[in-house]
Structure 1
Amino acid sequence: MKLFNKNDIRSNKIYKNVAFSFLLKFIATIILFVMVPLTLTCLGNYQNGVWLTISSLLIWIDQMDIGLGNGLRNKLSISIAHHDMEEARKMVSSCMAMLTCIIIPLATFLLFLIQITDIYAFFNVEPERIPTLRTALQAAVIFVCMTFIFKLIGNVYMGMQAPSISNLIIVIGQGLALFSTWILLKTGNATFLNVVIVNTAAPLLIYMIAYPITFYKVFPTLRPSLSLINLRSALSLGNLGVRFFWLQIAGVIQMMTANILISNLFSPEIVTPYQIAYRYFSLVLAAFTVICMPFWNATTDAYERDDIQWIRKADKRMGFVVIILGLCLVLMVTISPFIYDLWIGDKCEVPFGITLMMAIYTFIIIASSRYSYFLNGIGALRLQMYMTVTVLFFIPLAWLASHLTHDINYFLAVMCLCITPSWIVNKIQFNKIINGKATGLWKK
């Protein structure tokens, strides 16, 4: 089966983006594999577990754009499909203005909260082991909040069906963070505070460099302008964005609370093997994302042009990809002890149960995302929003499982259980829409 048809323009764009993105993901994978043992060496198991927990919390800030980034990429694709560049520029300008209005009060509130809260109790951390925890948190919030605005650049590239360029910006930022962390280690300055600063400041620096290149060289017709901020465009983005935000935040709640719950119910040290297993299988998730990401906006384009046949063919190709990646997960579980030994040596032990449960969790995400990428592309978000209610059961069920069994494997089983209903409903909804049989809520 041919995964891409190079004879039509839409598929050809996908082919080029996937090819380049795979190269970038390969580089990102190398960076990830080097970064994990490097930060473990810099910080040790305890401090590294705390840093990983903080990292998961920082994702909250990234998701607080109320879905505007994903809304922008959809709206840009629609404007481009209708050759309306003026509306596209209004969308970019309005989106950046809204992001700025969101992040300034949010950053102020978070910095105030960090100052007055007993953060050592919140993270279950001994003050003498990380005396700079509060300062590190404040620095991380400042850098991540600034990145929040500039990351709009990535959504512009995705909306223009060039996600590989967005990936390039991210990979360069990761590379700079890795290099900076290595410099800290070699110069004897690898403190908790310094590691947090270089890992949060590096992406911001790259986005700031990419801004003038993007809007003055590559897409000058999309350059944000104060005079083009438009209330109608802002409301349109907000309407669609809120739906995306709800979907984004549901996933973040589970992943963020997982780290915090593991840290509190078990120990900060257990966060490290959990995150190592998660990052190990994130290789498969990354490969799937590389393939699927271009389909999102290509689906928007196809749906706007009523090209349902193209969407059908694309879905069949995605089914083939899911099967192949599922087999890859089985192989990865089998060889995981050998890989862990090569990767992190004796710095940290990852139990087989954690590895197996994270493989199952990863497969469910992939199988569900196969349909959600297409549903997102055509704007069918309401039913997906309703299904996120299952995430609300995660915290009480995870807490109950942990207290009854004192076994992290049951905790991870609850994670898998809470995302399975969305997989089933996504599949049913996609098939109904694509076959013209969707009515009522199934169409939304």
Structure 2
Amino acid sequence: MGLAFFLLSILTSVSLNVDNLIVARVADLPTVSQFAITTKLFALLALTVTLVALPLWPANGEALARGDLDWVRKTTRAMVLFSVGAVAVGGLVLVLARNLIAQLWLGDGHAISLGLALSLTVWSIVIAFCSPFFSVQNSVGNLGYQYVGWGLFALASIPLKFVFYPLFGLAGIPLAGAAAYAVFLVPTALLGYRATLGRVVVP
């Protein structure tokens, strides 16, 4: 099981961390710097998702072990609403304050693209929606659906980012990721979640 999680973490890490390499391939050095700085700022939204999801693993595992599906369903719905809401509000704050933050962080003359900020927020919201469903699967080691979803995501998102960049500029990189995530990983999250609950024997 530890090896399965290790291999899944490699797959997700590769899928989620190729953007800087892609931007370095298709753009100049100042553009790469702008993208890297902006993504570091909006990584705070992903941190919110992680802080919400990790404590759910043992709690979901205990509830599933005792067959308490009602608790799992109720908690998962609540955490989906909380995660999406928290990331959306945090994203809105970052979007509105992006240039002020950039000036305080990097000095006068620095600004963050509105399109890039919005696309990174959308990307984070899609991840926030799926995270509680994946937490249920992870709590019992049901990783098969995620292997399929992340594999398809990696195969589709990387070429899609090369297509979206000429169309939308830097904003196209996370926008392509969000589109591929919605197509491949949202169904994976929902189907894997239902399959996990279906395995539980209710006493």
Bin the TM-score by the shorter chain. 0.7 to 0.9
Q: Partner of 2:104 in structure 1?
A: 342
User: Is contact 2:99-2:110 (8 Å) kept?
Assistant: no
- What residue number does 2:114 align with? 352
Structure 1: runs of 5 or more not aligned: 1-70, 72-236, 439-444
**1:401-427 Cα distance to aligned partner (Å, 9 max, x none):** 33x448222233212112112023312
8 Å CA contact 1:300–1:377 kept in 2: the answer is: yes
Q: State the alpha-carbon separation in 2 of the partners of residues 316 and 406 from structure 1.
A: 34
Q: Which whole-Å CA distance do the structure 2 matches of 1:260 and 1:396 have between them?
A: 13
Larger radius of gyration: 1
TM-score normalised by the chain length of structure 1: 0.41
Cα shift at 1:353: 1.4
2:82 aligned with 1:321, yes or no?
A: yes
Specify the code of the residue in structure 2 equivalent to 1:302: A
Over the matched positions of the two proteins, sequence identity in percent amounts to 20
Aligned positions of 1:206-355 closer than 5 A: 237=2, 241-242=3-4, 244-325=5-86, 326-346=88-108, 348-355=110-117
- Counterparts of 1:45-124 in structure 2 under 5 Å? 71=1
| Alpha-carbon contact 2:63-2:69 (below 8 Å) kept | yes
Contact 1:353–1:409 at 8 Å: present in 2 too? yes
Superimposed CA distance per residue, residues 188-222 of structure 1 (whole angstroms, 9 cap, x where no aligned partner):
xxxxxxxxxxxxxxxxxxxxxxxxxxxxxxxxxxx
Cα deviation for residue 310 of structure 1 reads: 2.8
Q: Which amino acid aligns with 1:321?
A: F
Partner of 1:380: 142
Count, aligned residues: 197
Question: Can you give the 5+ residue segments of structure 2 that lack an aligned partner in the other structure?
Answer: none
1:377–1:390 Cα change, 3 Å: same
Is residue 99–residue 111 contact of structure 2 (8 Å, CA) maintained in 1? no
Partner AA of 2:158 in structure 1: I
For 2:155, give the aligned amino acid: L
What amino acid maps onto 1:413 in structure 2? L
CA distance in 1, matches of 2:65, 2:133: 18
Q: Which residue of 1 aligns with 2:160?
A: 397
Superposed CA offset, 1:384-415 (max 9, x none):
1111222112222222333x448222233212
Deviation string, structure 1 residues 328-381 (Cα, Å, up to 9, x no partner): 322332232223222322364322211111111111111111211111112221
SS of 2:54's equivalent in the other structure is helix
Q: What TM-score, normalized to structure 2?
A: 0.82
